[in-house]
Structure 1
Amino acid sequence: MTERPIGGRYIKERTIAGGGMGTIWLALDEQLQRRVALKLLASHRVSSPAARQRFAQEAKAVARVHNPHVVQIHDYGIDGDMPYLVMELLEGEDLEALLERRQRLAPAAVVPLLNQVAKALTAAHAAGVIHRDLKPANLFLARIDGEEVIKVLDFGLALLDTGTDTPPDTHELAGTPRYMSPEQMRGQLALSPRSDLWSLGVVLYRLLTGQFPFPADALDTLRTGGSASLTPPSSVVPELGAETDAFFARALAAEPSNRFTSARELASAFSALVISGKPTRPAKILVVDDEPDMALVMQQRFRKQIQDSIYSFIFAANGEEALEKLRQHPDTDVVLSDLNMPKMDGLTFLGRVGEVHPLVKVIIVSAYSDMSNIRTAMNRGAFDFLVKPLNFQDLKTTLEKTLKHVSEMRRMLRSTEENDLLRMFVHGGVVERVLSAVRAPLGVTGERVEGTVAFVDMKDFAPIIRSEQPEAAIQRLNANFEVIVPELTSRGGMVDKFIGDAVMAVFRGPGHLGRALDACLSARQQLRAMAFRGGDKSPYAHGVCIGLDSGELLSGSIGARALGRLDYTVLGDVVNTAAWLASVAGKDQILVREEVGTRLDANFECLALGVRQVTGPGTPVPLYEVVGRREQGINPADSTASAAEPRPSVDAPLMAASGAAPNKEA
């Protein structure tokens, strides 16, 4: 007899994990015909209101966090009296299982894992979610689309920021003791994200050393506010060095304010530590062959290269072992692999190697040299094919050629990553001007141009900087810039710079003034609509203060070329006036000088505001407020107006379209 589907659609197939809180099943979603992970509350806890609330809390916590490194929830409901949770089904293993097999990991192998966990925690903390149970068993190394991706699991103990104050006498001891921060061990509910950072520090310590940073008998000392002696990681693994000891002294400081401020800062500090500690190393070559004397032969043939630290060899007896070696040695450059091996042959290994190490190059070395094997190997990504018995001079030449290719490929990849990073900071329109600037004699260029400068400033953002956590404040600010900047650039504006909580944009070319105003009006409209949908706590509720001015600008590269620091920008009264106008504008006001306002009167609705005194000595300035664009379109006689089609009123409403182990128990 077929068991009744849970929630009317999920058919249980087999259990894949379990614990005191519940059981996780591999299940079939009948409606979508896909396999999922189905989590059911333990039967003996179904009658507990606290357990049911905690189960629902997990669904809410994960639903808040939108990040590819957090396990995704598909559905939540109650079947009869049984709460259930439906999650994505993951294939792979958790870091606890990985540690059981490997004891500890190399720092270079830990860096990408830590960076992914940090991204998940950054998103969670920004959403007001404190995990409270970070540990290797809740960090899952999933295989997704040929890549290994970390997923943070089990938000069953998570704290959610509900916007209400936690009563000072409310305590709850929840978590895994060896990973709990001192304040969490005291049962505090008013935890900050730095509590999770402590747990992450313990996880990182275990990954690097295979041990815990504090002995078990020190937990009571930490809980009561005492000082426990951290075991320096370099005393466990000497090659980690004193710098790593200093890193963990901060990561695991008993006082939260002495720890890293964010998961991103912790991960960046560790990455910098690993990179700075890397010596010039020999090329690392993995030899995969089941012949018992292969290691001896390679060491003899390349004795001089090994002595001179040109080559370093590691060995594996089959493809399965080789994949594990690549995980242990992510800095491997080249693989020499046989074809005919037990457990996993060379062709199967070729198909899997990209999952673990996409940059490594594989040279097949085999006595099976028929064209079918060669074609199959090359089609699966082999870089070259050598035939046994080996001509070692040929092997030496092939290795040199392959290593040169790997080095060039990595250099190009670094350049691509650097270029992609720079594109985030430099507008594409600047690049062409900068190129001409640096090619000119002494790199000094300057020109007078006509243009419009717009300053878009966040209203009353300074209190947010003082009151919110750094990650949350930056995320709130950037959420607004994500709306504002596309409106500026889509109308030909060039983002010149971000100045605190303001953005400065420059518009040049035909219709620059009209395009600049259209961009500012549209950005204001978008922010208003998003604030209306999100309510008072929306990051868009601040509003913006906008100032524009138009006229002659001095454009050029400024800075200290000898020190390698130049900036391409615009200067002049127009810039200063636009900045001042933004500073005196009220919430959602767009201010211009009277001279600019009168030029726009045929196309934009403007209100005269009277005279305002410019900061410092100077002539009082009559101001206009730009309310919106008029319905009738553009006056052809106004050469500064936008050449675009008439746009709807800015006051019009904005309509917006709106394999097999998933989770483990605490």
Structure 2
Amino acid sequence: MAICILAGRYALTRQIGEGGMGQVWEAEDSSLKRRVAVKLMTADQMSSTAARLRFEREATAIARLRNQHVVHIYDYGIDEGRPFIVMELLEGEDLQSRLNRVGRLPLAAAASVVAQAAHGLAAAHAAGIVHRDLKPANVFIAITETGESVKILDFGVVDMLTRTDQDELTCPGDIVGTPLYMSPEQIRGSTADHLSDLWSLGIMAYRAITGELPFTGNWLGELITNICTNPSRPPSSVVSELSPEIDRFFERALSKDPSQRFQSARAFASAYACLAEQNGRRPAKILVVDDEPDVFALVEQIFRRQIKDGTSEFFFAADGEEALDVLRADPDIDAVLTDINMPRMDGLTLLSHIGQVNPYARVVVVSAYGDMENIRTAMNRGAFDFVTKPIGVDDLRLTVHKAAMQAHEARKNARSSEENSALKRFVSPLLVERLRSPEGSVPCAILEATVVFFELAGFHDATKGKTLEETIRMLNANFDVIVPELTMRGGVVDRLMKSTAMVIFRGPSHLASALDACLAVRAQLETLGLRAGKDSPFSRALSIGVATGEIFLADVGSRSCGRLDYTAVGKAVNVAAQLEVMAAPNQILVGGGAGADASVRFHCIPQGQHTLAGIDEPVQIFEVLGRLPSTAQGVTSYTHADAATVAIAAS
């Protein structure tokens, strides 16, 4: 019996869910005679312009996507002033409910859920959509005719990568999303792009295989501090059978620095699919796909020794659709041996889908002798090899073995790539750049750049009486805010020295990029101070020195002792270092003839001249109160959001 009818068409029958933005009802679409789900905005949200805009944006965002792992939108409307969204009705349970019921998932089962959710995220990110509230409650495991299928739900706090009005929906002290799953940059109030969604995916994956969350807190401020400061607890310390390789995966997935994380949802899913193999030695896994039962018996007979000694494990499917279900359930499949002619989904169609489900599996196609057209099609679609009928025993054994070894090597190379990425965190990006240069290139490079020195003002006094662990935690907490924001805006962190960081900005508009980064860092520390409380480690002020001019990138040190550092030297480095020492807390001093250039985009006030060591001429100091509004550059007013005190010096 209908409770009410929306838009003269959708008869609501029962409530099936509820969230912060609205209630979800099962309904009957009287026009198309089908059952649907209707998300109806709650009455208390209807008076909020921001809430109504988010609700409409959710409908618009999901409607743009046509992906099997994102819930489908059928309609959007307003009934008597109350917005509603009509979606496909799903049968099953969300991941949160499943985890509440079973505690945690086996690695292979979790990898299947994560891979499908990642494919949905990849489609959203390709369309310029950031979810911003990915969590187990928003990942639905739907029961379909072909098995379980993961669907991403609730894009209620979605952000569009191309939009500039997101700040209109939030205030500096507000938190939009679920804090337990929010990335450090999102919780700081910085830009939350697709890498923030991948952080949330990492938290969800961690929760799925351990049954616990990597970051918790007794109160919101403690949770915020832990997310922005502390490393995640290694999964192997929670579940003993998980391997150190899994720990290393999550070190990358939950890196505070977005640039050190997986850079795409597909890369995340591929690496996660490797974890079961890395969690210990295992047999080669081969999937045989054929609609003839006799083939299964033949394969078991040919490989009976390998099956008996545990070096090979076989799975069987009757057609391509069934094979995809097997691949989703076990992402460790190494080789797929498939026939071409099968009901529902043939082998060539299957071949075109395998890379999306398991990018490491190698496919061996079984074809009739002389069927060159199908063989060419299979090879063009990425088949590793083929065998012909009647199947030769030795040929089959050798081909399957080679395919499994190729898959093993592909996974091994992926692990090596991850390890190299981890090593890069401990060396200067400039050194990495130097090592990538062609052999025989000139080691000294000359370029125009902006150099920035950051000092945590008052850090020495603030750490008096604290333990070494507390001091390091405070230091890292602030650098975890400063460094990602600088690198995201084009800065290269050359070195970290105690409580000081040296950063280089190159390329077009490097001075403006540097000043924007300085203001953004100051604003984020202020936001964290508000959110995490006055006793948080984020309450430190910054003293910042900035200089522009010609710098030299060179090998500096003792060649005879083999101890060199590839770093920046020159007048701009000297000026920036001295100005950082001169700067008061929350002040940025910028030198190098940049005052006139900066005044075009920033509100600058002359503050006199100063003599610096090693600099022939006095340096003119300018104070910058913030960035000029983009619609009125050249006017001396400035926006309150950028009102961190900044001083600029020009020689």
TM range (shorter): 0.5 to 0.7
| Cα distance change on mapping 1:16 and 1:138 into 2, 3 Å | farther
Give secondary structure in 1 for the equivalent of 2:239. Answer: helix
3-state secondary structure, aligned to 1:433: helix
2:555 is matched with 556
Shift of 1:390: 0.6
- Please state how far the C-alpha of 1:336 moved relative to its aligned partner: 0.6
Matches of 1:454 and 1:314 in 2, distance apart? Answer: 59
Q: How does 1:345-424 map to 2 (within 5 A)?
A: 345-367=346-368, 370-414=371-415
User: For the structure 1 residues 38 and 320, does the alpha-carbon distance in structure 2 shift closer, same or farther, using more than 3 Å as the test?
Assistant: closer
Q: Assess if the C-alpha contact under 8 Å between 1:288 and 1:317 holds in 2.
A: yes
Alpha-carbon spacing, 1:402–1:624, altered in 2? closer, same or farther (3 Å): same
Which runs of 5 or more structure 1 residues have no equivalent in the other structure?
30-34, 122-126, 166-195, 208-239, 248-259, 489-493, 629-647, 655-666
* 2:242 corresponds to 1:244: no
Contact map agreement 1:15 1:24 (CA 8 A) in 2: yes
Residue 556 of structure 2 contacts residue 564 of structure 2 at CA under 8 Å; is this kept in 1?
A: yes
Question: Structure 2: any 5+ residue segments left out of the alignment?
Answer: 122-129, 158-169, 176-200, 213-234, 243-249, 263-270, 463-469, 533-539, 600-604, 625-632, 640-651
Tell me by how many angstroms 1:357 deviates: 1.7
CA distance in 2, matches of 1:330, 1:518: 47
Q: What is the CA distance between 1:89 and its match in structure 2?
A: 9.8
Deviation at 1:393, TM superposition (A): 1.6
Q: Does 1:289 align with 2:294?
A: no
Q: Which of 21, 24, 43 is matched with 1:22 structurally? A: 24
Equivalent residue number for residue 314 of structure 2: 313
CA pair 277-392 structure 1, distance change in 2 beyond 3 A:
closer
**3-state DSSP class of the match of 1:297?**
helix
Q: Is 2:460 the partner of 1:455?
A: no
Paired AA for residue 107 in structure 2: P
Q: How many residue pairs end up in the alignment?
A: 500
Given residue 481 of structure 1, which amino acid in structure 2 is its aligned partner? L
For residues 181-229 of structure 1, the C-alpha deviation after alignment (integer angstroms, 9 at most, x for no partner) is xxxxxxxxxxxxxxx999988755689xxxxxxxxxxxxxxxxxxxxxx
The whole-number CA distance in structure 2 between the counterparts of 1:408 and 1:359 is 9
**Which residue number in structure 1 is paired with residue 163 of structure 2?**
none
* Equivalent residue letter for 1:110: A
1:386 CA drift (Å): 2.0
Note closer, same or farther for the CA distance 1:651–1:72 as it changes in structure 2 (3 Å cut).
farther
Of residues 545, 558, 576, the one that matches 1:547 is 545
Over the matched positions of the two proteins, sequence identity in percent amounts to: 33
Structure 1's 558 and 649: CA in aligned 2 closer, same or farther, altered over 3 A?
A: farther
* Contact 1:59–1:76, Cα closer than 8 Å, also in 2: no
The aligned counterpart of 1:177 is none
Structure-2 residue corresponding to 1:279: 280
The amino acid across from 1:324 in the alignment is D
Provide the secondary structure at the position in 1 that maps to 2:340.
Answer: coil
1:23-54 Cα distance to aligned partner (Å, 9 max, x none): 2569899xxxxx99862449xxx8xx569799
**2:293 is paired with a residue of what secondary structure?**
coil
Q: What is the deviation of 1:323?
A: 1.7
SS in 2 for 1:569: strand
Q: Which residue of 2 is the match for residue 584 of structure 1?
A: 582
Query: Residues of 2 paired with 1:334 and 1:649: CA distance?
Result: 65
TM-score normalised according to structure 1 size: 0.51
TM-score between the two structures when normalised by the length of structure 2: 0.52
* Residues 156-175 of structure 1 aligned to structure 2 (within 5 Å): 163=173
Paired with 1:451 and 1:408, the residues of 2 have a C-alpha distance of 44
Q: Say whether residues 1:481 and 2:483 are aligned partners.
A: no
Change (3 A) 1:607 1:362: same
State the Cα distance separating 1:588 from its structure 2 match: 8.0
Aligned-residue Cα RMSD (Å) equals 7.2
In 2, Cα distance between the equivalents of 1:16 and 1:433? 64
CA separation of 1:423 and 1:285: change in aligned 2, threshold 3 A: same
Task: Pick the aligned partner of 1:505 from 480, 503, 506.
Answer: 503
Q: Match of 1:211?
A: none
Structure 2 letter corresponding to 1:345: D
**Which of 620, 624, 627 is 1:624 aligned to?**
620
8 Å contact 1:319–1:341 — kept in the other structure? yes
In structure 1, what residue type is equivalent to 2:239? T
Q: In the superposition, relative to structure 1, how do residues 411 and 299 fare at CA in structure 2: closer, same or farther (>3 Å)?
A: same
For residue 397 of structure 1, give the secondary structure of its aligned residue in structure 2: helix
How far did 1:71 drift?
Answer: 7.2
Answer whether contact 2:554 2:568 (CA < 8 A) is retained. yes
Corresponding position of 1:80: 80
- What is residue 107 of structure 1 aligned with on the other side? 107
Counterparts of 1:41-190 in structure 2, within 5 Å, are: 41=40, 49=43, 60=54, 78-80=78-80, 82-85=82-85, 95=95, 106-111=106-111, 113=113, 134-135=136-137, 138-140=139-141, 151-153=152-154, 163=173
Distance 2:315 2:560 in 1: 47
Change (3 A) 1:306 1:152: same
Q: What is the distance in 1 between the residues matched to 2:386 and 2:496?
A: 53
How far, CA to CA, are the matches of 1:546 and 1:353 in structure 2? 52
After TM superposition, give the deviation of residue 331 of structure 1 in Å.
1.1
Question: Cα distance, 1:547 vs. partner?
Answer: 1.8
Distance 1:583 1:107 in 2: 52
Q: Give the whole-Å Cα distance in 1 for the aligned partners of 2:587 and 2:71.
A: 43
Instruction: Name 2:194's counterpart in structure 1.
Output: none
Greater alpha carbon shift after TM alignment, 404-413 vs 282-291: 404-413
1: CA distance, partners of 2:36 / 2:564: 54
Kept in 2, the 8 Å contact 1:290–1:318? The answer is yes
Give the secondary-structure state (helix, strand or coil) at the position aligned to 2:391.
coil
Q: Distance in 1 between matches of 2:56 and 2:455?
A: 30
Aligned to 2:494: 496
Q: Give 1:333's aligned residue.
A: 334
Report the CA distance shift for 1:327/1:568 in structure 2 as closer, same or farther (over 3 A). Answer: same
- Are the equivalent residues in 2 in contact too, given 1:495–1:505 (CA < 8 A)? yes
C-alpha distance in 2, partners of 1:558/1:94?
58
Cα distance per residue 1:488-526 (max 9 Å; x no partner) = 5xxxxx542466897523489xxx9x9865654576699
**Change beyond 3 A, Cα 1:478–1:523:** closer
SS in structure 1 at match of 2:397: helix
Deviation at residue 330 of structure 1 after TM alignment: 0.7
Q: Deviations over 1:274-311 (max 9, x none)?
A: 57962233322111223334344323322344455543
Q: Distance in 1 between matches of 2:608 and 2:393?
A: 86
Q: Deviations over 1:567-624 (max 9, x none)?
A: 53246897465234224325885536xxx76x7799888946465899xxx99x9653
Instruction: Summarize deviations over 1:433-489 as a string: whole Å, max 9, x none.
Output: 33579999xxxx9979898762253887989x99x9999988864674266x33x5x
Task: Answer with 1 or 2: which has the greater Rg.
Answer: 1
